[in-house]
Structures are given as structure tokens and as C-alpha cells.
Amino acid sequence: MHTKVLLNIMLASLISCIGCRKSETQKTALEAIEVILNDTPFPSETYLRIPYTLRFGEFEKEGLKLKQITVMDSQTRSELLKIGEDELEFMISDNTSLTLFLVPENLKHYYLSVQLPLPIDGARPRKVMHRLEFSDTVNNKTIFQEGAVFTPRYGETPMVINSPVKGNRNLFLSHSTMNYHFYLIFFNGDSIGTGPRFAFDQVEVNDAMTSSYEGDPCVNESYFNYGDTIYAAADGKVFEVRDGMIENNGNQMDQLPVSMAGVPGNYMIQDIGNGNYAFYAHLIPGSLKVSVGDIIKSGEAIGLIGNSGYSGMPHLHFNISEGSDSFWSKGLPFVFRNCTWVGIMDQGSVTPVNLKNTMPEQMSVIAF
């Protein structure tokens, strides 16, 4: 995958507003490490992914620098995942400057979202714990802290949907990975929003599985998915739409919105029942085929993949959330009812594997 392509989408999605009410806690930073979000696990073709979010006290104010987190089986103490300094950069803290429209203010905690990848046919630790390594810059030594024990929700299954796209060369970026959508947390007093937590950005690649466009990258039509039809992923009523926003040109990001409200570009929000909503964003202006109040069936065409809003290349941003607000509600994991794994980006084809109730890894090329 072109690093650039990934980066563009990453930039396109790095929206966050961070601010937090003052906390009354008197705990030291090290005592305050806990798991605050523990989501339903979901399977990819390779892993059962356990999504959760850690919250830390402001350890840097106590002269501590976090070096590494080891995620462990709390019974056997075997290592499940090591999170090194590269990934720790994505921790949301006072120092984070990833905001475009809102500035962090007085954040009293740090947050790190993790997708623990357990091998799909491997052991399932009953409880998961963490071992954190800090360098204590005041006393010039290394200290360790263990905690943030939690029980994965193995008994629960994620929502099953039909794919909102068709075709033989799909990539679903930033879903099954610790990556840009998954890190986003919006803060508002005591409540947090994680709407895009399990969002993917769909792109389409060539048969060689090396690129998502051919020709001039500054032109939307160069991208294989541009103008492809988007389909309803589930049955349900059209809740909200926006049309009329002009598009960026290819990877130029030259028509960006001026406020957070414009980030999704042209979009449709669909009420899919039980308080859950599907969100389809960055459509081509004028391409929406549905209106508010329409009752639509899964598989019905709703619009065309475009490059409107905060977008670094044509792509479909899709997510499901518990609540109609795409940012401020709780993002939910989901899986595709049926799909076929046909290759790996930059590596080429694999013997096709039919998958049921699976959300592929982000570098897997998927056919429907």
C-alpha cells in the first residue's frame, strides 16, 4: 500500500475534540490506570480482536515517562501483546495536537485504545492484565505497574451487516487495527463519544493489489472506487442526509470543510433499529438516491462513493453507532455476513477463502 495513500486517509480522519472536566480524584497517576471501555470482540480472518480503552492518570506530571505496555493473560502471565513507543504516540493526552477544529483543554487523563489480537484458533485468556514500564525521570530509575485487569466479553457477538460496497478488490482501512478511527474519543463533560471507533474507509485496488488509483492522483476519476454505488448495509429508515457539498480533487484536500459539521461531506444516516444507526459519508454531490423517511432494504442503492468533506481521496467512510450522532454516540463493532478473502495489499492474491460473520484485517483484499 502506498504509505501516502494511507497517510492521506489517516489525515482525513484525524479529527478530534478533546477537553475534559476537572476530576476530583486524589489517586496517584499509577493508581488510576483502568479499562474504561470494553467492547464486544469481533473476528477477522486471522484474529479475534478484543477492543478496549485504557485510561491513565497524568503520570507525566509525576515525572514518569511511559516506555512500554505488555498485555498479559492474568492467570498464566503469558504475553499477549507488546505496545511500544510507536503506538504509545497515539495516546490521547494534553500533548496531543491531532485536532483540527477543537483544541484539547485541561485533559485530566490520558487514553489509549487497544485492539488485542488473539490468534483466531488460539487460547482465550479469561482475564487480561497490563504491565506498564515507566522511566521515573525524577529518581532516575525504571518502575513497573501492573493492573487494568478486565474480562473480555467472549459471550457476545458483534452486529452482522451486509457490505455497503460490491466488487472484487476492496480494502477496509482503519477498522481491524489500532489505527486512526479507533483512537478517536470525543470528550464532553462526563460523557465521551466514540462514533467512528469501528469505522472503515473503503478503497478499491488494482488486480496487482498495489495501488488504489491509476493515472493522476489529483483527479477523482483516477481512483478505482470513485463513483461506485453504495448499498444499504441493513434494512431501515433514512434518518438524515446532507447533499450539495463540493468535492476535493483526488488527494489534494482542496475543498475541506470549515467546521467539524462539514467533516463527513455528503452523507446519509440510516436508522437500522434497536437504537443503532449506520453512517455513510463523503458521497458525490447530487448522487444521493434516498430521502429522509424512506424505508430502504439492505442492498438498495443509496448513492455514489465520492470525495466530499474532510477526505484525502475518494472513499466510503462507514460506521455503525449506538445513537444517531456520528461522532458523539458509541461506536459499535460489526462484521460482514459473507465475504471472500482474495488477497493481501502489496503481496497479491491468496487462495480465496469464504468468510462468514467476519470483519477482515485492513490489508486484506476482499470480494463480495
Residues binding Zn ion (CB under 5 A) = 13, 201, 317
Residue nearest to Zn ion (CB): 317
Comparison of 203 and 342: residue with beta carbon closer to Zn ion = 203
Place of cell 496517584: 28
Grid cell at residue 30: 499509577
* Minimum separation from the CB atom of position 93 to Zn ion (A): 23
* Minimum separation from the CB atom of position 157 to Zn ion (A): 24
User: Buried b / exposed e across 126-145, counting CB within 10 Å, b at 16+?
Assistant: eebbbbbebeeeeeeeeeeb
* Minimum separation from the CB atom of position 159 to Zn ion (A): 18
Comparison of 109 and 317: residue with beta carbon closer to Zn ion = 317
Comparison of 129 and 263: residue with beta carbon closer to Zn ion = 263
Comparison of 130 and 242: residue with beta carbon closer to Zn ion = 242
Place of cell 453512517: 279
Both ends of the chain: CA-CA distance in Å?
21
Comparison of 15 and 232: residue with beta carbon closer to Zn ion = 15
* Minimum separation from the CB atom of position 317 to Zn ion (A): 3
* Minimum separation from the CB atom of position 314 to Zn ion (A): 12
Comparison of 35 and 361: residue with beta carbon closer to Zn ion = 361
* Minimum separation from the CB atom of position 64 to Zn ion (A): 33
* Minimum separation from the CB atom of position 160 to Zn ion (A): 21
**CA–CA distances in Å: residue 169 to residues 2, 13, 210, 284, 353:** 16, 22, 11, 21, 14
Comparison of 15 and 69: residue with beta carbon closer to Zn ion = 15
Comparison of 13 and 40: residue with beta carbon closer to Zn ion = 13
Contact at 8 Å (CB) between 252 and 266?
no
* Minimum separation from the CB atom of position 182 to Zn ion (A): 11
Three-state SS string over the chain comes to CCHHHHHHHHHHHCCCCCECCCCCCCCCHHHHCEEEEECCCEECCCEEEEEEEEEECCHHHHCEEEEEEEEEECCCCCEEEEECHHHHCCCECCCCCCCCCCCCECCCCEEEEEEEEEECCCCCCCCEEEEEEEEECCCCEEEEEEEEEECCCCCCCCEEECCCCCCCCEEEECCCCCCHHHHCCEEECCEEECHHHHCEEEEECCCCCCCCECCCCCCHHHECCCCCEEECCCCEEEEEEECCCCECCCCCCCCCCCCHHHCCCEEEEEEEECCEEEEEEEECCCCCCCCCCCEECCCCEEEEECCECCCCCCCEEEEEEECCCCCCCEECCEEEEEEEEEEECCCEEEEEEEEEEECCCCCEEEEC
Comparison of 134 and 186: residue with beta carbon closer to Zn ion = 186
* Minimum separation from the CB atom of position 240 to Zn ion (A): 18
Comparison of 57 and 164: residue with beta carbon closer to Zn ion = 164
What are residue 81's phi and psi, to 5 degrees?
-165, 140
* Minimum separation from the CB atom of position 319 to Zn ion (A): 8
